[in-house]
């Protein structure tokens, strides 16, 4: 049942308050974790030394890292509960699953980039890139939590696992941190905020709302499901 056709500037809720809170908590915890983690990783460089001083030295850095690790773990439990046990959460999770259409859309996007296609592909509620960000951030965080716990409780962990496992954990934690940083703080931030059309900031992450025009341009399949085939009133390519 299609709703009435909206005006292009009409604001539509894309993320609920609860979803935005989760996002803020993730942003906060990952930022502190990245800064305190990188300070240890780059302790020998000037940037590492600056970060270490800002974080109050080696011991304070470790405490800070662990406090926000707990924040991330609480968030992980909250989020898992949300996507598994709430109707809205389950709906979002279903929409985030990779499908055959994503491969098609991705090929079309590449053709668009290479100038072989005039139109942007038609995306659903989540583009293939957004799905990649979600799963990358989600599974990456879980891997960081698991490996981080081994490193944090190394004395207890080493009662069970051999030293080489601990060494592997250490390596994985370091590289996975770097991967997450690239995925979220570079790629995700570019797509959402820095890319032409969104610069300098996309207010959706604060208000949770986007205009009907944006929905039509960037998530056309979702728009059609909601409002039918006609573009929003006053919409121009």
Partner 1 sequence: MKRWLLLLLLLLPASALAQGSAFSEVRQCNICHGKREFKKVMPDGTVRSLFVDQEELAASVHAKWACVDCHADIRVIPHPPRLEKVNCQRCHFPGNPVGAPEEVNYRGYEESVHGRLHRAGNPKAPVCQDCHGTHGIHKEDDPRSRVFKSNVPVTCGRCHQPVLADYARSVHGRSLLERHNLEAPSCSDCHGEHEILPPKETASEVSATSIPETCGRCHASMEFNTKYEIPINPVKTFKHSFHGIANELGSSKVANCASCHTAHLVLPPSDPDSSVYPANIPKTCGKAGCHPGANANYAKGRFHLDPSRRDAGVVYWVALFFKWLTISTLAALGLHILLDLVTKLRRAKHGA
* Mask for 174-213, x = binds partner 1 (CB under 8 A): -xx-xx--xx--xx--xx---xxx----------------
Among the listed ranges 10-18, 94-102, 151-159, 211-219, the one in contact with partner 1 (CB under 8 A) is 151-159
Instruction: Verify binding: residue 152, partner 1, rule CB under 8 A.
Output: no
Q: For residue 46, give both structure tokens.
A: 């000037």
Give the C-alpha distances (Å, rounded to integers) separating 114 from 90, 108, 109, 119, 196.
Answer: 36, 10, 9, 12, 17
Describe the crossing of helices 128-152 and 87-96 by its angle, rounded to 10 degrees.
110
Residue 54 vs 58, nearer CB to partner 1 = 58
Residue with tokens 């100038």: 115
- Cβ neighbors of 81 (< 8 A, separation 6 or more) are none
Among the listed ranges 15-23, 29-37, 52-60, 84-92, the one in contact with partner 1 (CB under 8 A) is 52-60
Q: For residue 27, give both structure tokens.
A: 């942003």
At 130, which helix (H) or strand (E)? helix 128-152
Among the listed ranges 74-82, 92-100, 154-162, 211-219, the one in contact with partner 1 (CB under 8 A) is 154-162
d(CA 3, CA 76): 35
d(CA 28, CA 148): 18
* Candidate residues 20, 23, 43, 224; the one interacting with partner 1 per rule CB under 8 A: 43
d(CA 172, CA 166): 10
Residue 24 vs 165, nearer CB to partner 1 = 165
Instruction: Verify binding: residue 111, partner 1, rule CB under 8 A.
Output: no
DSSP 173: H
Residue 21 vs 178, nearer CB to partner 1 = 178
Residue 90 vs 156, nearer CB to partner 1 = 156
Instruction: Verify binding: residue 134, partner 1, rule CB under 8 A.
Output: no
Instruction: Verify binding: residue 135, partner 1, rule CB under 8 A.
Output: no
Interface with partner 1 (CB under 8 A): 40, 43, 52, 57-59, 110, 112-115, 129, 154-155, 158-168, 171-172, 175-176, 178-179, 182-183, 186-187, 190-191, 195-197
């Amino acid at each position: 049942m299609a709703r009435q056709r909206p005006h292009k500037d009409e604001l539509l809720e894309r993320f609920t308050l609860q979803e935005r809170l989760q996002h803020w908590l993730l942003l906060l915890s990952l930022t502190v974790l990245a800064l305190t983690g990188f300070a240890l990783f780059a302790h020998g460089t000037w940037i590492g030394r600056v970060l270490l001083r800002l974080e109050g030295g080696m011991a304070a850095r470790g405490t800070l890292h662990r406090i926000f690790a707990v924040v991330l773990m609480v968030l992980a439990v909250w989020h898992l509960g949300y996507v598994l046990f709430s109707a809205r959460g389950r709906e979002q999770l279903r929409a985030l699953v990779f499908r055959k259409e994503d491969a098609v859309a991705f090929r079309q996007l590449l053709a668009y980039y290479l100038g072989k296609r005039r139109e942007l592909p038609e995306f659903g509620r989540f583009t293939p890139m957004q799905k990649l960000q979600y799963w990358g951030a989600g599974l990456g965080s879980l891997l960081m939590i698991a490996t981080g716990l081994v490193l944090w409780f190394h004395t207890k962990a080493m009662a069970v696992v051999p030293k080489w496992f601990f060494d592997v954990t250490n390596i994985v934690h370091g590289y996975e941190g770097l991967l997450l940083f690239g995925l979220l703080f570079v790629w995700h931030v570019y797509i959402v905020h820095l890319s032409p059309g969104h610069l300098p900031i996309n207010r959706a992450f604060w208000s949770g709302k986007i205009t009907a025009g944006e929905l039509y341009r960037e998530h056309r399949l979702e728009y059609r499901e909601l409002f039918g085939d006609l573009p929003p009133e006053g919409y121009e390519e």
